[in-house]
Copies of this chain bind each other. A is one copy, B any other.
Amino acid sequence: MQIALVGIGKIAVDQHVPSIAASPDWELAATVSRHGTVEGVAAYTQLSEMLDAHPEIRVVSLCVPPVPRFALAAEAIRAGRHVMLEKPPGATLSECHTLEALARQHRVTLYASWHSREAAMVPAAKAWLADKKLTRFTVTWKEDVRRWHPGQAWIWQPGGLGVFDPGINALSIVTEILPDPIHLTAATLEVPENCQAPIGAQLAFAHPTAQVDMVFDWRQTGDQTWEIEAETTQGTLKLLDGGARLQIDGSEQGEDADALKGEYPRLYANLARLVARGEIDMDLAPMRHVADAFTLGHRSLTEPFHE
């Protein structure tokens, strides 16, 4: 199937383009971007031009930042195209609800993708936790913003989410692997004096049986930490490296062959399946937790951030 990619920035070049190139399902047939292009692929700067010029391209994948995403997604859906959204699926929860209603109305596929849910050992972690009684659950997501988001000024603006941009990846895994629902009860957001979005966050959640805490931090130099630890009455699970590795009681669990594929190739395999079935996959739970943190969080100002 032919697909168009909208927003040729860092994440498109690093992940989307190679994943589409390696996929048996997809052919990259056009790009839309103010500046970016992909060699050998028809390039447009306006979505409307691409949609008009290529009625044969039935699927559009959006990797622009969240704030401009709604208008582009709505335009593609109104033009009868299936749409995949990078995470988070929008700048607001309300626009995601509107978009889902629009996709139902136009009978097209809409896929709110969460790439971290496709990390290699997430399914195994979910399966292991399914019948365990949780007593303590800790998420530690600490990375260096300068290393992962060079020059991305929008992440510090309203709607850019700050440290919740990676934090929502953790939340997308958590909401996938935990059998019981959680909800935020308290949060502290550390916001640099010269920014609108937090650089650090500490979150406490209610859960039927466990104490649940999360720490997100964008000031981590040296080793980067993306870990989830689940203590249960029948042992302890650790998801390491953002879900790529799994330990049960300290013992490393093997990967299966499919796990080697990588997150974005699996997203595009999911997209092919959703389009074939005419389905919508728009799980907003990770984004709801982020909105809850912005609503309920206690803000403290911290030292200015300069890239």
Contact = CB atoms under 8 A, between A and B. Distances in A.
A244 B57 CA distance: 52
User: How many copies make up the complex?
Assistant: 2
Contacts of A158: 186-187, 295-298
Given A92-B296, A285-B94, A70 B291 contact: no
Interface stretch (A18-26, A177-185, A231-239, A267-275): A177-185
A181 B101 contact: yes
A93 B288 contact: yes
Contacts of A101: 181
A261 interface: no
Interface in A68-114: 70-71, 91-95, 97-98, 101
Interface of A: 70-71, 91-95, 97-98, 101, 158-159, 161, 181-187, 196, 206, 285, 288-292, 294-299
Nearest to A298: B158
Return the 5 tightest CB-CB contacts between A and B, nearest first: A92-B292, A95-B183, A291-B291, A94-B183, A294-B295
Contacts of A184: 92, 94-95
Given A93-B292, A98-B181, A292-B92, A299 B70 contact: no
A3 B196 CA distance: 45
Given A94-B182, A288-B93, A196 B299 contact: yes
A219 B158 CA distance: 25
Contact of A159 (B94, B161, B182, B295): B295
Nearest to A291: B291
23 contacts: A70-B183, A70-B206, A71-B206, A91-B295, A92-B183, A93-B288, A93-B291, A93-B292, A94-B182, A94-B183, A94-B184, A95-B184, A97-B181, A97-B288, A98-B181, A101-B181, A158-B186, A159-B295, A161-B295, A288-B291, A294-B295, A295-B295, A299-B299
Given A70-B183, A158-B296, A95 B206 contact: yes
B94 A181 contact: yes
A296 B91 contact: yes
Given A92-B184, A92-B296, A299-B299, 4 more contacts: A71-B206, A92-B292, A95-B206, A158-B186
A71 B94 CA distance: 26
